[in-house]
Amino acid sequence: MLRGTVNQKLISLGKRVTPPCFYPFIYRNLIAWRMQRRNPKGPSLILSYYSKIDVDIDVSEVLDYIEGYGLTMLPYKWAELFNEDKTPKYDSIVVFHDEKLNLPYVLLDKKRLYFPNSMDENDIKIIYYTSQEIEQNPKSPHCYLMDDFNVKDDDIVVDCGAAEGNFGLDVINRVRKLYLFEPEEQWIKPLHATFAPWKNKVVIVQKYLSDTTDEINITLDDYFSDKEHPTFLKLDVEGFEERLLLGAKGLLSSKNLKNVVTCTYHKQDDEEKLGTLLRSHGFTTTPSSGYIIAIWDKLYPPYLRRGVIRATKESK
């Protein structure tokens, strides 16, 4: 998730000593300062590296953005949080409050998407706008689904790294069964509230997914050893995608599983490693278009990373 790269400690400190009207300034400038501090020579390194090789139109678009605006995780004008006049785009998001549950929520296609009551309204707006309007924009390198790669009616879907559950809520009316794996305590009550209308077909599992099973971790193979195998996997687990897949070799070989979408930007070599692993189990893989810059990491060639791989397996 893109929001995982934000330095929340810096932002929280700024908000404690600043009036709410200046919150957008805090987000915009502290995040920019953090990126510049971590990779002060990033723009010149990237531009110099690609000046020596032929680039396609996707790379050229990214280089034009870097030259004009500097480093950011999604180097595209449409992906910025702020308008040209510096007003936040996420101000269009409306946050409601459920008095009975004491939880805030926003509407996703007229369905309630709940958040922890510890989050203030501005945080919720940014998280929702980032995860839904930016990450899942069809132009985004982070977009999970496309017209030709989508959840189908009657699918059994596993959402690995559910967080607030926007992916699951987006597809809930199509699926036969939805499994949400989310280890972080802050999301559990909101997830139960969000999916209460569909509780007969939703299972929420508070476990980390890995290649071993113990008190806090579980492999997908172990979890589904006595259950009908899923048909669709979505992986966004902050750099643990490879370990998760290594613990799901049985599922990957299953005749049931037809589609996998996994993030590949958390680590430099994830696109190659995860693609090779999926192809070894009979999947055909396609990377998303566009690129992500790992501004939270030390930059080194080739600097640009694909956001996700979409993998399909044809029926034999």
**Degrees (nearest 5) of the Cα angle 310, 311, 316?**
155
Residues 287-308 have pLDDT tens digits of 999 999 998 888 889 999 999 9
Q: What is the pLDDT of residue 7?
A: 44
pLDDT exceeds cutoff 50 at 249: yes
Residue 153 placed within a domain: yes
Structure tokens given for 64: 């034009």
Mean pLDDT for 189-208 is 98
Residue 296 placed within a domain: no
| High-pLDDT (> 90) share of the chain, % | 80
Cβ neighbour number for residue 38 with a 10 Å cutoff: 15
Please provide the distance, in angstroms rounded to a whole number, between the alpha carbons at the two ends of the chain. 34
Q: What is the pLDDT of residue 3?
A: 44
pLDDT exceeds cutoff 80 at 25: no
Residue 283 placed within a domain: yes
Residues 34-46 have pLDDT tens digits of 555 556 678 999 9
Residue 247 placed within a domain: yes
Residue 214 placed within a domain: yes
Are the C-beta atoms of 247 and 220 separated by less than 8 Å? yes
Residue 238 placed within a domain: yes
Residue 228 placed within a domain: yes
Structural domain boundaries enclosing 189? 144-288+305-312
The number of domains in the chain is: 1
Three-state helix/strand/coil letters over 224-288: CCCCCCCCEEEECCCCCHHHHHHCCHHHHHCCCCCEEEEECCCCCCHHHHHHHHHHCCCCEEEEC
CA distance 55 to 63: 10
Provide the CATH number for the domain around residue 278: 3.40.50.150
Residue 234 placed within a domain: yes
Residues 107-163 have pLDDT tens digits of 999 999 999 999 999 999 999 999 999 999 999 999 999 999 999 999 999 999 999
